[in-house]
């Protein structure tokens, strides 16, 4: 097991609290994974997919009430309310513990507690961190083995050092003799709770995704963002990709986009531009530290992809499809009669017959989706054909550019570059997007999601902006990544997308690459630099001059309204909001006049 006294003591206390029938220390082996999956099959949680079509892979349907992250039940329990800020749900930590301890009491009766030691980041990297998740969900244990480096090797690296304790329960204890359900959960009592000072996570009542795989959103973003601020680094909701030019020069780029805006697609993009290559380091989270050379280095703390399945196809994301060809878990997708998976957008033609994610017989004319819009695949990152050779480099990869973006049907051009770091932080602070299905809420409404971190920042976002500004001041401006804002989703007046997206986004990446090399012609506009006419490589692309002009049009009236809406938005952050961002907003208003 382990010699770590703190770990042994904590597990003992949690066993006394939660009263599981058994405790299983995960060693991370294949045999153990196979055994957990067999138990899940016996319980009716997993169904083995046809091994000829999808080797060693499983389908799982959740309780229909437990299908997404639950932001209204997510809490930041800092000692002072101001330290959580106005964008987070805050509760006093002692009050939250007093509320939850009785709820956790006996919550694992009739179940096995899995002890999952896991590393976020390559084992032994100075950027990596270790957590231990206790969970009564076999589904979580199986997914954690794909999503993190987990098991005995982690305990060996941990030694007697501190770790992040993460307690998870589905919140459905079993009475003696009570039969279990395939997806136990407790939708009436859901709590996703973070203690930023103690660096501890308690999650209760949900078995789904970011609520339950605690290494991901809870640790790698909410708790890690707090650690990063304390120690001068960055924990961000960003993809990381490597971009190689036809000349063989390589640059790494990160990108922050709100949930379900195509981060995974961009991370795995197959360029349409001849000679250009994109390789994937990560698709969701980046931890970044400044190196001794003054450059910013990033690692992907995760070991797998937990991607949105609907919309993913061989056309939209071939590399994702190939990543999940085996050894994968599918949640809330549909089942084909042949024993494989299907979801909306996977094939041009809908299959004639399926079993939907609700276990119901499904036909295309029934009017209901076969897969839930937030259905997911869990696939090992190492199976991605385009995985970057340096994706496990403990030093991380040097970052040349940071992209921000979201889904904005109007106003925001295909790409613009910030004038400098501070203006880049301004761009990050105003990221906005149409709502999607990754979290509860009305799909389609525009929501601001600064740095795509609104649901994931573990502390006051005003302080978060200040942290970004401060890093810019503390480091050599020439070595800082260049900052850009992209919008693949601008539409014409007639409501049609102006830009084809997907592999064609490589044209935009090429301009980013050139800008980082000091080349790439730009026009200066009130909102930033946009590609000069002819600077965006559109050779071979069928796009009219009018569409191109519209893609880069800076609509002054629209931006004046946008600036006013930003001013209103900024006021919601309270007194700690950094003055420099008001200066940037004032400068933008001045340029628009």
Residue 584 touches Mn ion, criterion: CB under 5 A: no
CB 330 within 8 A of CB 343: no
Q: Pick from Mn ion, ligand OXD, none: which does 510 bind, CB < 5 to 8 A by kind?
A: none
- Per the listing, tokens 């050139």 go with 514
Q: Does 514 bind ligand OXD (CB under 6 A)?
A: no
Binding mask 384-423 for ligand OXD (x = CB under 6 A): ----------------------------------------
Alpha-carbon distance of 124 to 395, in angstroms, equals 10
Closest approach of ligand OXD to the CB of residue 151, in Å: 24
Q: Which residue has the tokens 């026009």?
A: 523
Nearer to ligand OXD, 122 or 210 (CB): 210
Of 306 and 362, nearer to Mn ion (C-beta) is 306
d(CA 342, CA 347): 8
User: Cβ-closest residue to ligand OXD?
Assistant: 259
Q: How far is the CB of 406 from Mn ion (least distance, A)?
A: 13
Binding flag, residue 311, ligand OXD (CB under 6 A): no
Count interface residues toward ligand OXD (CB under 6 A).
Answer: 7
**DSSP-derived secondary structure for 222-239:** IIHHHHHHHHT-EEESEE
* Helix (H) or strand (E) run with residue 362 in it: strand 361-362
Alpha carbon separation from 73 to 69, 105, 211, 366, 477 (Å, rounded): 9, 20, 10, 33, 40
Residue numbers 202-261 binding Mn ion by CB under 5 A: 259
**Shortest spacing between CB 580 and ligand OXD, in angstroms:** 28
Among 66, 284, 449, 562, binds Mn ion (CB under 5 A): 284
Is 194 or 510 the residue whose CB approaches ligand OXD more closely? 194
Minimum CB separation of residue 185 from ligand OXD in Å reads 17
CB of 302 to ligand OXD, least distance (A): 10
Q: Are 328 and 54 in contact (CB under 8 A)?
A: yes
Q: Which does 209 bind (CB under 5 to 8 A by kind): ligand OXD, Mn ion, none?
A: ligand OXD
Within 8 A by CB and 6+ apart from 398, the residues are 252, 291, 295, 296, 297
The answer to whether the beta carbons of residues 277 and 227 sit under 8 Å apart is: no
In the region spanning residues 27 to 66, those forming contacts with ligand OXD, defined by CB under 6 A, are none
Q: Considering CB distances under 5 to 8 angstroms, the limit depending on partner class, which of Mn ion, ligand OXD, none binds residue 210?
A: ligand OXD
Closest CA to 87 of 99, 78, 96, 97: 78
For ligand OXD, the binding residue among 74, 87, 259, 429 (CB under 6 A) is 259
**Residue 230: how many CB atoms within 10 A of its CB?**
12
Q: Nearest distance from residue 174's CB to ligand OXD, in Å? A: 29
Write out the binding residues for Mn ion, residues 253-282 only, by CB under 5 A.
259
Judge whether 261 counts as a catalytic residue. yes
Whole-angstrom CA distances from 4 to 127, 156, 161, 162, 202 are 21, 10, 7, 9, 21
Q: Closest CB to ligand OXD among 136 and 284?
A: 284
Among 14, 17, 69, 108, binds ligand OXD (CB under 6 A): 69
Based on CB atoms, which residue is closest to ligand OXD, 219 or 276?
219
Q: Closer to ligand OXD by CB, 284 or 344: give it.
A: 284
Binding mask 185-224 for ligand OXD (x = CB under 6 A): ------------------------xx--------------
CA distances from 56 to 139, 327, 577 (A): 15, 5, 50
Q: Looking only at Cα atoms, what is the longest distance across the chain?
A: 73
Distance from C-alpha of 89 to C-alpha of 71, rounded to nearest angstrom:
9
284 forms part of the interface with ligand OXD (CB under 6 A): yes
Tokens of 271: 């360029």
Q: Looking only at residues 2 through 31 of this chain, which bind ligand OXD when binding is defined by CB under 6 A?
A: none
Distance in Å, CB of 429 to ligand OXD, minimum: 19
Q: How far is the CB of 293 from ligand OXD (least distance, A)?
A: 31
Residue 441 or residue 500: which is nearer to ligand OXD going by CB?
441
Query: Based on CB atoms, which residue is closest to ligand OXD, 212 or 273?
Result: 212
Q: What is the CA radius of gyration of the chain?
A: 24
Distance in Å, CB of 112 to Mn ion, minimum: 29
Distance CA 476, CA 497 (A): 39
Shortest distance, position 208 Cβ to Mn ion, whole Å: 14
Question: Residue 593: which residues within 8 A CB-CB, separation 6 or more?
Answer: none
Nearest residue (CB) to ligand OXD, 69 versus 515: 69
Pair 545, 538: CB distance under 8 Å: no
* Residue 214 and residue 117 in contact, taking contact as beta carbons nearer than 8 Å: no
Nearer Cβ to Mn ion (436/460): 436
Looking at 438, 536, 548, 563, which residue binds ligand OXD (CB under 6 A)?
Answer: 438
- Stretch 80-119 residues interacting with ligand OXD (CB under 6 A): none
Size of the residue set binding Mn ion (CB under 5 A): 2
- Euclidean distance between CA atoms 408 and 423, whole angstroms: 20
**Which run of H or of E encompasses 46?**
strand 46-48
Q: List the catalytic residue out of 18, 261, 384, 457.
A: 261
Q: What is the rounded distance in angstroms from the CA atom of residue 509 to the CA atom of residue 507?
A: 5
Q: How many CB atoms lie within 10 A of CB 277?
A: 17
Residues lying near ligand OXD in the complex (CB under 6 A): 69, 209-210, 259, 284, 306, 438
Catalytic residues: 261
Residues lying near Mn ion in the complex (CB under 5 A): 259, 284
């Amino acid at each position: 097991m382990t010699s770590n006294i703190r770990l042994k003591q904590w597990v003992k206390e949690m066993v006394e609290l939660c009263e599981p029938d058994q405790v299983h220390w995960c060693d991370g082996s294949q045999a153990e994974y196979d055994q957990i999956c067999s138990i899940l099959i016996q319980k009716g949680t997993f169904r083995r997919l046809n091994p000829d079509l999808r080797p060693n892979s499983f389908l799982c349907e959740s309780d229909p009430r437990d299908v997404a992250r639950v932001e209204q039940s997510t809490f930041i329990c800092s000692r002072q309310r101001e330290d959580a800020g106005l964008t987070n749900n805050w509760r006093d930590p002692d009050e939250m513990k007093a509320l939850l301890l009785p709820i956790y009491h006996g919550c694992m009766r009739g179940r096995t507690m899995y002890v999952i030691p896991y590393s976020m980041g390559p084992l032994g990297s100075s950027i990596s961190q270790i957590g231990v998740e206790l969970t009564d969900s076999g589904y979580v244990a199986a997914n954690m083995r794909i999503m993190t480096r987990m098991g005995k090797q982690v305990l060996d690296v941990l030694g007697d050092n501190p770790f992040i304790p993460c307690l998870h329960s589905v919140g459905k204890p079993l009475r003696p003799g009570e039969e279990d359900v395939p997806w136990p959960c407790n939708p009436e009592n859901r709590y996703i709770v973070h203690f930023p000072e103690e660096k501890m996570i308690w999650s209760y009542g949900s078995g789904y995704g970011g609520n339950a795989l605690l290494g991901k959103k809870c640790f790698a973003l909410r708790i890690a963002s707090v650690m990063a601020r304390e120690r001068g680094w960055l924990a961000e909701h960003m993809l990381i990709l490597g971009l190689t030019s036809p000349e063989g020069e390589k640059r790494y780029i990160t990108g922050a986009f709100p949930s379900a805006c195509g981060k995974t697609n961009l991370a795995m993009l197959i360029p349409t531009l001849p000679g250009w290559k994109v390789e994937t380091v990560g698709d969701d989270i980046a931890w970044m530290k400044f190196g001794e050379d003054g450059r910013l280095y990033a690692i992907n703390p995760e070991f797998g992809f937990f991607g949105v399945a609907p919309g993913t196809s061989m056309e939209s994301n071939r590399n994702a499809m190939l990543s999940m060809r085996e050894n994968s878990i599918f949640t809330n997708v549909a089942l084909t009669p042949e024993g494989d998976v299907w979801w909306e957008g996977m094939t041009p033609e809908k299959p004639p017959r399926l079993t939907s994610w609700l276990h119901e017989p499904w036909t295309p004319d029934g009017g209901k989706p076969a897969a839930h819009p937030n259905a997911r695949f869990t696939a090992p990152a190492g199976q991605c054909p385009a995985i970057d050779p340096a994706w496990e480099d403990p030093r991380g990869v040097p970052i040349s550019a940071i992209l921000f973006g979201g889904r904005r049907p109007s106003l925001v051009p295909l790409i613009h570059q910030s004038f400098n770091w501070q203006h880049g932080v301004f761009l990050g602070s105003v990221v906005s997007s149409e709502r999607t299905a990754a979290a509860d809420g009305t799909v389609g409404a525009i929501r601001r999601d600064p740095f795509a971190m609104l649901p994931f920042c573990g502390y006051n976002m005003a302080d978060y902006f200040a942290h970004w500004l401060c890093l810019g001041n503390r480091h050599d401006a020439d070595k800082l990544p260049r900052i850009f804002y992209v919008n693949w989703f601008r539409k014409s007046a007639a409501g049609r997308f102006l830009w084809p997206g997907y592999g064609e986004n490589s044209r935009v990446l090429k301009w980013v690459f050139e800008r980082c090399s000091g080349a790439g012609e730009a026009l200066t506009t009130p909102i930033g630099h946009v590609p000069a006419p002819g600077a965006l490589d559109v050779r071979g692309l069928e796009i009219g001059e009018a569409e191109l002009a519209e893609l880069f049009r800076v609509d002054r009236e629209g931006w004046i309204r946008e600036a006013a809406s930003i001013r209103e938005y900024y006021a919601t952050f309270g007194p700690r909001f950094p003055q420099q961002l008001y200066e940037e907003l004032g400068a933008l208003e001045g340029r628009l006049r």
